Each structure stands twice: as structure tokens, then as C-alpha cells.
Amino acid sequence: MSPTTTTDLPAEAYVAALAGFRNMNVHRLSALLRHHPPEQAWAVALGEAPTHGLVARVLSDPYVRASWRTCAGERPPGEVWARCHELGLQVLPYGAPGYPACLLDDPLPPPVLFVRGNLGLLAGRRVAIVGTRNATAGGREASRSIGLGLAAAGVHVVSGLARGIDGCAHQGVLAAEGEGRPIGIVASGLDVVYPREHRDLWQATANCGLLISESPPGTAPEAHRFPLRNRIVAALSEAVVVVESRERGGSLLTAGDAVHRDITVMAVPGPVGRRASAGANALILDGAVPVTCADDVLTFLSFQHGHSAVLAADLRARPKGDDLAVYRELQRDPRTIDGVALVLGLSLVDAAMRLARLEVAGWVAQADGWFECVGSPLR
């Protein structure tokens, strides 16, 4: 049974459909497309056309070939192409006009990219901000403020649109009044928003920035796709800033990808012993550039920049006297109400009142019983 091969489909349609096969990977797809034009590659993948020995070796697994034939029946090129069209995606096979120049000589270039938004942004200055999904309030704030500062200085911010550090970086970018735009690299298809609560952030990134995936529409955010996504984050950036990362976090893989590509790695140092900063601190020990704010990153990029006039005045009432002591304690470590009372030697009610005042004023927030400092830190 031969799947529909209508001749009026563009070559990209075959590439897009092949990229969506189960058990397809970068190596297999690259091998196919390096040696065959797309339509022929499609036929080769289905075993309907002959190929050379090298490609045949890469594709030798009979189980894989069987699953490909099933996939071809489920999602023929015409259907995948129609979906890309419907979503307004550009499909850029390796080497096509518009394919990012910085990926052409990558050690593991994506065989195809699916794109929404403005590809012209890749001609500008780009810095990646990455980090753990399980961030502390301080890490989220650092990410947001670095994103904001870079965008205000006209630097585009590349990130993975994940929860935690990634999302905050782009929120900062969107809050900035500058030329810098968000560039989001995601692991799923561009119609599969993950995590779902970032729907608005995806939309905003596509509308005013650039959204890129290596996978065709409909691709689920499977775990193995995230490390691959990270290499594109690194490859599209001039420098990678790791804001917070665990000792074995995914952002360390991004940092590794950056080192592999001779791209500068920067890291925001955190308290010794705090898990969320263990990875970032280890990177600094390994020679990453320590940075604490957007200006540090800009200085490294030899940017001419004025003082951070972009930071809006803080309208929150400054905590006074006793409340300040609680705030300073929470700056050191997140605490429960009991912890605050014990450490500062307060009665529970006294601790509760101070925390309530700080919470109302917007200096701290509580989740799961833990109080953390939020917003830009009190200077």
C-alpha cells in the first residue's frame, strides 16, 4: 500500500512529514536528507526506493522501518503540510533560504525547523537565559530582571519557555520597553503548548518575537526532546546565562552544549548549600563568568549601555524597623511563620502581623506555608 504522493506538494511537506515519524531522530533524518531530495527521501524511508549503503546502514532497523510505514499512513505529507499552513508556520529544511546561518556549521544541526514570528531577529544580538523549573523566588526575580535589562538594551533573549527561570526571563523581556525580543525554542510541536499555563507567553513570543521548534505540529513534549531543544538554545546564542540550576539540572546540559560550541557560559551565583544554585555555582567553579545583573552580561558583550534607567521606580512602601528584620531574614532563606518567630525570637502573633504587612505591601509572598521575598530586592 503506497501512501498518497501527490506531486503538487512542495519539498518541505515531505521533510515536515518525515520529521514527525516515530523513531525518527536527528541522525536518521539528516542522513536521509543529505543523500536524497525530500520526495525521494520519503520513498526511501518507506522502503519504496533504493538508497546507498551508508543511508541503508543508518536505517537498517526493521522495527523502525515498520513503524515508519504506519506513521506514513497516519499522517501523510499533504496533511502535515496543511497543518503547517493552517498554523502559519514556516518550514525550513537545513540549508533552505532563511535557515539560521549560525546553525549551518553546528555539530548537530536540526534537519528542519518550524518557525513562527520574525526570523530577522537572529541577525541581532542574542543571549540565552536558562535555568531550573523549580526556581526560588529570588531566582525568578533575577531571571526576570536580567531578561528585562537585556531587552531594554536591545539584546534578544533566547530561552526554552519552560516553567520557572525560562518563563520569567521572557516575562522580563515582554515587560521591557526596548528593542530586545523573546526568542523561544520549544521541544514540542508549535501547536502543543507546554506547559499549558504558558499559553499567553507562547502567543506573545510568536507575535512579537520568534518561536522555533525542531518538531512538526502535533509532536508531544516527550522527555527526550528537551535536551535536544537545549542544543538549539545554545547554538542560537552568543552567550548562555544559567540563573539557577540543580547539581544535575537540564540547564547544565545547555551549558555543556554551549561549551561544545565555543559559546560563553555565564552563571548567577547563589548561596552555598542552596540546592537551586548548586549547578550554577559549580559552573562558576568550572570557569563560567559570574554575573548578577543584566549590566554584567552587557559589559561582557562590550555593550555601550547607559545606567539601568529602564528599572521602574519601586512603588512599594519600604518596610520599617521590625518588618525590615523579617524581610532581611527571608532574603537569606525562605521560612515558615514558625521559622520566622523562632529565628527572630518573636511571638507567633507578632511574626504573623509583620509577615502580613510585608505581604500586603508586596515584599513577600506565601506558598505552601513558605514565605519568600518577591519583586526586585530592597536596596
Which member of 1, 313, 315, 349 binds another protein (CB under 8 A)?
A: 349
348 binds another protein, rule: CB under 8 A: yes
Select the span of 39-47, 96-104, 132-140, 251-259 touching another protein (CB under 8 A): 132-140
> What nine digits make up the cell of 141?
526575580
Which member of 339, 344, 376, 378 binds another protein (CB under 8 A)?
A: 339
- Sequence-ordered list of residues with C-beta below 8 angstroms from that of 167, at least 6 positions apart, any chain: 161, 198, 201
365 binds another protein, rule: CB under 8 A: yes
Which member of 335, 346, 363, 364 binds another protein (CB under 8 A)?
A: 335
327, 373 Cβ separation under 8 angstroms:
yes
Angle between helices 250-260 and 275-285 (to 10 degrees): 20
376 binds another protein, rule: CB under 8 A: no
CB of 365 to another protein, least distance (A): 6
367 binds another protein, rule: CB under 8 A: yes
Select the span of 22-30, 111-119, 273-281, 284-292 touching another protein (CB under 8 A): 273-281
User: Distance (Å, rounded) from C-alpha 183 to C-alpha 171?
Assistant: 12
Residues numbered 188-227 forming contacts with another protein, rule: CB under 8 A: 195, 197
Which member of 178, 370, 376, 377 binds another protein (CB under 8 A)?
A: 370
281 binds another protein, rule: CB under 8 A: no
According to DSSP, residue 375 is labeled S
CB of 372 to another protein, least distance (A): 6
User: Distance (Å, rounded) from C-alpha 161 to C-alpha 168?
Assistant: 9
Candidates 273, 295, 279; CA nearest to 243 is: 279
Candidates 226, 204, 201; CA nearest to 213 is: 226
User: Distance (Å, rounded) from C-alpha 24 to C-alpha 80?
Assistant: 15
CB of 263 to another protein, least distance (A): 26
Site size toward another protein, by CB under 8 A:
40
CB of 133 to another protein, least distance (A): 6
255, 265 Cβ separation under 8 angstroms:
yes
User: Distance (Å, rounded) from C-alpha 249 to C-alpha 310?
Assistant: 32
According to DSSP, residue 157 is labeled E
CB of 376 to another protein, least distance (A): 15
353 binds another protein, rule: CB under 8 A: yes
- Sequence-ordered list of residues with C-beta below 8 angstroms from that of 112, at least 6 positions apart, any chain: 12, 15, 16, 19, 29, 33, 91, 92, 93, 94, 214
372 binds another protein, rule: CB under 8 A: yes
Select the span of 29-37, 84-92, 309-317, 368-376 touching another protein (CB under 8 A): 368-376
> Across-strand partners of 365?
372
Q: Alpha helix locations (H) across 118-260?
A: 137-152, 165-175, 199-208, 225-235, 250-260
276 binds another protein, rule: CB under 8 A: yes
Query: Which residues contribute to the site for another protein (CB under 8 A)?
Result: 132-137, 139-140, 163-164, 167-168, 195, 197, 244, 274-276, 333-339, 348-349, 352-353, 355-356, 360, 365-370, 372, 374
